[in-house]
Structure 1
Amino acid sequence: MKAARIYGAKDIRIEDVDIPDPEDDQVQIKVKYCGICGSDLHAYLQGWGLPKEPHPITGRTLPITLGHEFSGQVVKLGKNVSNLKIGDKVAIEPVIACGECENCRKGQYNLCIKAQAKDGAGNFLGFSQDGGFAEYANVKSVFAHKLPAGMNYEIGALAEPTAVVYEALKRSRLRAGQDVAIMGAGPIGLLMALLARIAGANHIFIVDLSEVRLHKAEELGFINTINPGKEDAAETIKGVLPNGVDIAYEAAGVQATFDTALKVTKRGGTLQIVALFGRPITFDMTKDLIMQGINIITTICYNNSFPQVLGILNNNKDLFDKIITKKISLDQLVDQGIKEISADKQQVKILVSAED
């Protein structure tokens, strides 16, 4: 089968590889669509999250088939699989977990203790086990979630990034009527805004330097968009809400947006981290946090969320379809996918298909 294999930074090769039959607890998926994520971009540009030494659970090292935001159809069953049948349409939850450690037994399998790799390799398919930029993929059946009737594969491929923001929504404990600010209008920031609105948030401010991305937010119906290159975001938000917002979602992952998020969060409020940060940041623990009573909460991937996320997507298919801005073939993954999404702010979610 055809697959996009990553060998290291700036080294992705489209190759013909064999795929074994699924293991006893696995199903084999014919991949329909796989989305390009910001973490795929970091893997390509910097080699981020890739296993340079054997991963503690999978034992895998490079090369790896990239891709973790995917949907597809079940074509083969492991002998112990009873929850799925051939022909089922599914979205894949790409977490790698042992299922046995303390955190896994508590249901926090996204924080699997055994999945911690010394070299920082990610505990995802597409990083430490073969993923979805391929014609077929083998996945544990418990992590293959049936799509609701009538949902297409394109929307199904949005389940993984939507689960990321749904986890942030859970962790921040957003309640209907609260006010929020979202730092960043990239794919995660826009999905965060959509879920906040669906959850009943009152004011939703979106902050980004890109006019193109702010325009996309406006196309999705968000009116409180702010370009901090043209106006002071904190002053603008506090001009409407003098005490600030209840929750600020940091979906950009840089020092400047983190600083703004702190400034606009009301005393006693929550700063929810959604983004990954490419470099260390600084803040004054006493002045910025303790004296303001601000709680900083982090997330890593998700747990026990895919059924709810698929329900949200199914109830808002036309809305989430606007997040998909381009579809390409597997052969176009690097030049028209990964490189383009890093340079073209008009692109929100690019989907890749391995089908001819």
Structure 2
Amino acid sequence: MLEVHKLVKTTALRLYGKKDLKIDRFELPEISDDEILATVVSDTMCMSSWKLAQEAEDHKKTPDELSDNPIMIGHEFAGKIIQVGKNWQDKFTAGDDYVIQPNLARDDTPFVPGYSYPNIGGDATYVIIPKEVMELNCLVAFHGAAYYEGSLCEPLSCVIAAFDAQFHLIPHTYDHKMGIKEGGNLLMLGGTGPMGLLAIDYAIHADTKPKTLVVTDLNQEKLDYAKRLYPSDEVKMVFLNVNNLSISEQKELLLKAVDNTGYDDIFSMISVAPLVELAGQILNPDGCLNQFAGPVKKDFAASLNFYDVHYNFTHVTGTSGGNAQNEAQAAEMIARGTMNVAKVITHVLGLNAAAETTLSQPEIGGGKKLTYPGKKFDRIELAKVAPDSELGKILAKHNGLWSPEAEKWILETMPDI
């Protein structure tokens, strides 16, 4: 156990302005009775961090004058509690592992961990967890096999929130039952990115399952990867390559996949107006379209057929992040082994490579980039690890996937930052 002094030095990646990320080493202040000191062991990257770095002070969740008030970035993190302020010692204990739901959903401010604070973010060795995280039940105990699993609780919580936000009419009423339609047809447009893969995994393992799940993408290799990793004996799985197809051709193909019966639930995992409009056209009566992907442009818009809204009760929803309950559910599912979230990890790296990787996520491609903030090593693409290397042999034991054994090797082998 770390011997706690009044001041602890942290090494952190902080944002100073647009595309201006720097690694700083500085002393954290002594925690107050309302705060908690913790380590960060792992953090997975989200495209939201790329958007944050592009927008900087223009982002709604950042403070003004970032050059003088830099913030720690990274919001999908897990670690260990080191010291607990007096006011939280009845709920939290030093030595416990934790995850955080960064979406605090406060009415008074948009500020959240990983976007807004100088002393808490996933790309850091030590952080101070502010009282509002605990007050809103967003500090969650984690009992999984590895820290990377804890990091992926936050993205999974976003998926759970989206599924929970779906709604359908209870027959002969105007009341709604929340969630996807059980035994219905579910479509994921552009569903082979890391969030799409988590959504596929959740769809086939949640208590409420569709009859048919259709997933589209432009890349056959990514579709084949998803098909291989997510088989199901309970759900009919269909993976469709829509590359070079017109909207009308896509419509025909998508309807054919479900015997021209249409879709009860559609998740748009990309922000493309013609595809959103196509989704509206193939909804069943009482069908629900979820704009899952966060549009980059604030004026993103698409047409909606209001005849169908009025007479066929089609409707639209959307979510941005999960909540504390979703985080707790994700932590429980992952710890129980219901889902193997390692399937979405394609790269691992040390804190020294976090700035370049954050800014280059679209060009790098692949799935989740997993950072170990306490370590120093260049980004590793798992698919390109030499099979006869020590790490390659570990990956081979787990079908090429990241694993608790691989994490243990990184933490024991790689140099500290």
TM-score of the two chains, using structure 1 as the length reference: 0.85
Relative distance call for 1:34 and 1:227 in structure 2 (3 A) is same
- Residue equivalent to 1:91: 99
**Which SS does the other structure have where 1:309 is aligned?**
helix
Q: C-alpha separation between the residues in 2 aligned to 1:198 and 1:115?
A: 35
Give % identity.
23
Relative distance call for 1:124 and 1:183 in structure 2 (3 A) is farther
Q: Which of 251, 257, 268 in structure 1 is aligned with 2:269?
A: 251
> Aligned AA for 1:314?
A
Q: Which of 143, 146, 164 in structure 1 is aligned with 2:141?
A: 146
Q: Is this contact kept in 1: 2:189–2:270, CA < 8 A?
A: yes
Q: C-alpha separation between the residues in 1 aligned to 2:305 and 2:280?
A: 11
- Establish whether residue 6 from structure 1 lines up as the match of residue 15 from structure 2: yes
**Which SS does the other structure have where 2:62 is aligned?**
coil
Structure 1 segments unaligned to the other structure (5+ residues):
97-109, 117-122
- Residue equivalent to 1:53: 64
Q: C-alpha separation between the residues in 1 aligned to 2:116 and 2:360?
A: 25
Structure 2 segments unaligned to the other structure (5+ residues):
1-9, 167-178, 232-236, 375-415
TM-score of the two chains, using structure 2 as the length reference: 0.73
The CA deviation at 1:348 is: 0.7
Q: Which of 282, 290, 296 in structure 1 is aligned with 2:316?
A: 296
Relative distance call for 1:28 and 1:233 in structure 2 (3 A) is farther
> Aligned runs of 1:1-356 on 2, under 5 Å?
1-47=10-56, 48-53=59-64, 62-81=69-88, 82-96=90-104, 110=105, 112-116=106-110, 123-129=111-117, 130-139=120-129, 140-141=133-134, 142-148=137-143, 150-172=144-166, 173-184=179-190, 185-199=192-206, 200-221=209-230, 223-231=237-245, 232-241=249-258, 242-279=260-297, 280-287=300-307, 289-303=309-323, 304-316=325-337, 319-335=340-356, 337-345=357-365, 347-355=366-374, 356=416
The CA deviation at 1:321 is: 1.4
Relative distance call for 1:220 and 1:33 in structure 2 (3 A) is same
Relative distance call for 1:52 and 1:29 in structure 2 (3 A) is closer
**Which SS does the other structure have where 2:148 is aligned?**
helix
Q: Is this contact kept in 1: 2:202–2:339, CA < 8 A?
A: no
Query: Could you give the per-residue CA deviations for residues 107-166 of structure 1, whole angstroms, max 9, x where no partner exists?
Result: xxx2x32124xxxxxx42111123111001122343221112x42101010000000010
Query: Could you give the per-residue CA deviations for residues 149-195 of structure 1, whole angstroms, max 9, x where no partner exists?
Result: x4210101000000001001111112432220012221211111111
Query: Could you give the per-residue CA deviations for residues 175-218 of structure 1, whole angstroms, max 9, x where no partner exists?
Result: 43222001222121111111111122221111222334323322
Bigger radius of gyration among the two = 2
> Aligned AA for 1:327?
V
**Cα RMSD, aligned residues only:** 2.3
Relative distance call for 1:275 and 1:61 in structure 2 (3 A) is farther
Relative distance call for 1:317 and 1:61 in structure 2 (3 A) is farther
**Which SS does the other structure have where 1:4 is aligned?**
strand
Aligned length: 329
